[in-house]
C-alpha cells in the first residue's frame, strides 16, 4: 500500500481518535495505565491500519502477521486500535477491566480473538516472539512476527536471553519495537536502572537497530519496511516516544505510568485531544 501524504494524515487522525478512546476506557474503568498507551497510539495505528497483514473478521487467519505485546499493561491502546480496526465494537472498549469482560487489564489470549499471547509479567514477550519466529522459519511460513516491548522491562534478564537467541539464530522474520519513553513505574529509567547505550547492546547480539521518532508515522512505517530487507538478522526499532502524548500537562510525568484520569481530568483531556484532532483535520483540508 502506497504511503501517500493523504494516507499519513488519515493515520494521524485515527491515532488521535484512538487516544480519545483510551481516555474514555480509563475513565469508565477507574483504573489502568495512561502514559504508555497514549504514547504508543501512533505506533499501534501504524500497525493496525497500514503494516499488519491481517483480517479483523477472521482473526485466526493462518497467514496473518503476528503481533506480540510484551508490556501488557499498555493494552488499552491495543484494544482501542483493534476496535477501531473492526475486531470488535468500539462500545465494548468501555468494559475495560470489568468483571467478565474480554478486555482485561492485561491481555488474555483465550478471551479475545486477535491476541497472540497473554502478557503480564514483564520481560517474557520477546522470548515468545522469538520462539514463534523460529518455529515459522522451521515451517517455511512467510508471515512476519512483531514484538512490542517497553524500555523499563529491559531490566528483566529474560529479555537478554531472547535477544541472544534471536541474534544467534538470525531471525530476520522478527522485528521488535521498543517504546523508548524513558519512564517506568518508579521513575525515569536512567535513574532506576540505566539502559544506555541500549542500541550498542542489541547490536552486540547481532541485531540491526533503527532509531526513529515514534510519533512520526512515515518514519516508523519506513523503518518497518527497512526491517524486511535486512538479511539474516532480527531488527530492533528504537521508537522514541513521549509518555502521555497529546496531554501537555502529563507528558513525561512518570507518575502517570500507572494511574487513570478522574472524571474531571478525563473530560479535560478529551477536550484537548479533540482540539488536536481538529487541528490535524484543518491542516489537511
Note the pLDDT tens digit of each residue in 163-192: 999 999 999 999 999 999 999 999 999 999
pLDDT band of residue 97 (cuts 50, 70, 90) is very high
* CATH, residue 126: 3.40.50.970
Q: What are the helix (H) ranges across the chain?
A: 5-29, 35-39, 41-46, 75-85, 125-138, 157-168, 189-192, 198-204, 217-228, 263-284
Residue 77 has pLDDT above 80, yes or no: yes
pLDDT at 285 over 70: no
Strands 187-188 and 183-184 turn out to be antiparallel
Number of domains in the chain: 1
The domain of 218 spans 5-284
Q: Determine what percent of the chain is predicted with pLDDT higher than 70.
A: 98
In whole angstroms, what separates CA 180 from the centre of its chain? 11
Half-sphere exposure of 74 (CA within 13 A, CB side): 32
The per-residue pLDDT for range 227-252, each reduced to its tens digit, is 999 999 999 999 999 999 999 999 99
SS3 at position 74: helix
pLDDT level of residue 282 (50, 70, 90 thresholds): low
Mean pLDDT, rounded, of the chain = 95
CA dist., res. 85 & res. 83, Å (int) = 5
Quick one: pLDDT at residue 120?
Answer: 79
Question: Model's pTM, two decimal places?
Answer: 0.95
Amino acid at each position: 500500500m502506497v504511503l501517500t501524504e493523504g494516507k499519513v494524515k488519515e493515520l494521524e487522525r485515527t491515532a488521535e481518535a484512538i487516544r480519545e478512546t483510551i481516555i474514555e476506557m480509563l475513565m469508565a474503568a477507574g483504573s489502568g495505565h495512561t502514559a504508555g498507551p497514549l504514547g504508543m497510539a501512533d505506533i499501534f495505528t501504524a500497525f493496525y491500519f497500514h503494516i499488519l497483514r491481517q483480517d479483523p473478521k477472521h482473526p485466526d487467519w493462518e497467514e496473518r502477521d503476528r503481533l506480540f505485546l510484551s508490556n501488557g499493561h499498555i493494552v488499552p491502546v491495543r484494544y482501542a486500535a483493534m476496535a477501531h480496526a473492526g475486531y470488535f465494537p468500539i462500545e465494548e472498549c468501555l468494559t475495560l477491566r470489568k468483571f467478565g469482560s474480554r478486555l482485561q487489564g492485561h491481555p488474555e489470549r483465550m478471551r479475545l480473538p486477535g491476541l497472540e499471547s497473554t502478557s503480564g509479567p514483564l520481560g517474557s514477550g520477546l522470548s515468545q516472539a522469538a520462539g514463534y519466529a523460529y518455529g515459522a522459519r522451521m515451517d517455511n511460513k512467510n508471515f512476519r512476527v512483531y514484538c512490542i516491548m517497553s524500555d523499563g522491562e529491559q531490566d528483566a534478564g529474560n529479555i537478554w536471553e531472547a535477544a541472544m537467541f534471536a541474534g544467534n539464530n538470525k531471525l530476520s522474520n522478527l522485528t521488535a519495537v521498543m517504546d523508548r519513553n524513558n519512564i517506568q513505574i518508579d521513575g525515569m529509567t536512567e535513574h532506576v536502572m540505566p539502559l544506555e547505550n541500549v542500541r550498542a547492546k542489541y547490536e552486540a547480539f547481532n541485531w540491526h537497530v533503527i532509531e526513529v521518532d515514534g510519533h512520526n508515522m512515515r518514519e516508523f512505517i519506513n523503518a518497518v519496511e527497512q526491517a524486511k530487507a535486512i538479511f539474516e538478522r532480527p531488527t530492533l526499532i528504537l521508537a522514541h516516544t513521549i509518555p502521555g502524548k497529546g496531554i501537555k500537562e502529563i507528558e513525561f510525568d512518570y507518575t502517570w505510568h500507572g494511574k487513570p484520569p478522574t472524571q474531571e481530568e478525563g473530560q479535560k483531556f478529551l477536550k484537548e485531544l479533540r482540539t488536536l484532532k481538529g487541528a490535524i483535520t484543518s491542516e489537511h483540508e
